[in-house]
Structure 1
Amino acid sequence: MAVEIRNTGRYTYEKTRKDRYGDVKVTSDIRLGAIIRDIAIGIGSIVVLGFSFFTVGEGERGVVTRFGEAQYQVGPGLHFKAPFIDGVRKIEIRERKTVEDLAAATKNQLPVTATVSVNWTASADAVMDIYKKYGSLGQFQERILDPKLREAAKAAIGKFNADELIRDRQAATAEVLAILTDLMAGYPVSVNSPQIENVALPEVYMKSVLEKEQARENAAREQYNLERQRLESLQTVQTAEAQRDALKAQADGNAYKVRTEAEAEADATRLRKAAEAQGIRDVEKALAANPLFIEYTRAQRWNGQLPQTMMGQDTDVLMSVK
């Protein structure tokens, strides 16, 4: 029996059989091996492509490694790497917070426990150095930041008396920040916003502190009342002085008015008298120059009416001319 196989497609073939009697039988079949091979190649290609690209999110930086050795760092976005031989370690550069519970001593040697926290951020440009030296941010925090924070907090608390630590917590936190900033100067991170919370002192001392603070508040209240009374008294005095000055100004104004009016009236009287004297002098000059000036003046003043009475020869007789 002769058998002939002929490919009819990528995944099919025909098998021709000829028996001893000369009859020919043709059958079609599927090339299962080719299908499995192509599927395996496709899956392999997808896997290779999947391992060749990677993304880095906002707030992160990626460190590309080759056989475990850091090569370079990349920023946010889509990136390519060699499949299987390159790896990517992502490191967050968003602000983080670390918290430490510690026991310390105040300036006046009182034991104190407190919770200290600080916010910190890894430098975006130094992510590769952090990976090379510490492996991860968690390792950096555990090996470097946490011990430095405890050291700074204990040093800062030791500069304040217990009552100052309770009353002026802000000054203590500012001291923690200043010391911690100096301690972290050589490391690729920045620190900010420290907090000191849950401060606990011996109960006996806390009671005395509360009593002292109460006395301080009472003294401040009394001082405020005294200052308020002083200001009220000063206001009363100033009001009285203002009223006095106003009355004085009014009296001065009235006196000035009276004086001005008197001076004006005196000036008017003086001018009027001067005018009358000048008039008299002018009349005298006119009479001296012309004796008929009196008749002229009478003529100017005559209203055109004749006298109604006249004197007779006897001075005791008055005659009517009507």
Structure 2
Amino acid sequence: MSFMLEHAPAAAEAARRHGLRVVAGCVLAGVVISAAAGSYFVVQPTEQAGVRRFGNVISAAPVGPGLHWKAPFIDHVDKVQTSLNSVLVDRLVVHTIDNQPVTLAVAVSYTVPRDAVFHLLYEIGRAGVHDIDENLSRIVRDRASKVFAQQNTTTISESRQRLSDLLRTTLSHDLRQLYGVEVADLQIASITYSDSFRASVEAAVKAKNDAIAAENTVTRVRYEGEQRKVQAQADAVARVTEAEAAQKVRVLGAEAEAKQIELRGAAEAKSLEVVGQALARNPSLVSYTVAKAYKGDVPQVVGAGGQGGIGTYLLGQLPAVAAK
């Protein structure tokens, strides 16, 4: 029993030392592993990187894709995405020249050239695409506000492509100057007008449609009036033509009747002339004609003084006529 009590402190000390050795081994192993893990870094194909040591950039040029070595614990790697990237600036409210609010959504696609990597990482702001997007968003909002401030609200829809091209040209120049990035594409994703403007447009469209309908009505009435006028003129011409034809018929009839009268008169005159010539050559022709036409009847004619008239005379002449 006494032996165990005498050796107990030694055993405890040995156990403590063993524990310390285990802890030290673990710490050393951790340090070695950390050092090994921190002695290299990988740059993806879509990235470029820079290395800092104690706050100083020690990379002579941007580090490209691949596996690279660095001093553990004292070197820090900053990466930036250089492949095609996009930033969407939505709920962007701008005001037009006629003081109408318009809400836009603008999508900008861009790339980071190799010679702009250090400028973006160490002169513009902290490394990372997130910071770049924030900086680009501010520029997009400012330039979009300036471009749309010169436009009339009523012409925005029809000028959408022109405005998109104008904004892209402006942003390409300014983003290259400020950040060195290249704008690959820009699209105005959406344009939302205010409720008051939409109401005014609807009212204007209705008024225009009403005006067109009224104009169509006027045109129709005018056309119908022209039709009635043409029909009336045609009817008048027809009546005049009919009247002229009837007049011509009457004239021709009158001329024919006059010709007949003329011919009949000429015939009668010729007949009288022949009779006159016959009487002149033979005065007793009248008595002969009367006698020839006499049927034996005595006319019931009483002359003055109660004596017979023409009948007595004719009877008295009969023998003479007969004798001849």
**TM-score normalised per structure 2:** 0.50
Structure having the larger proportion of residues in strand: 1
Structure having the larger proportion of residues in helix: 2
Higher relative contact order (CA closer than 8 Å, sequence separation 6+): 2
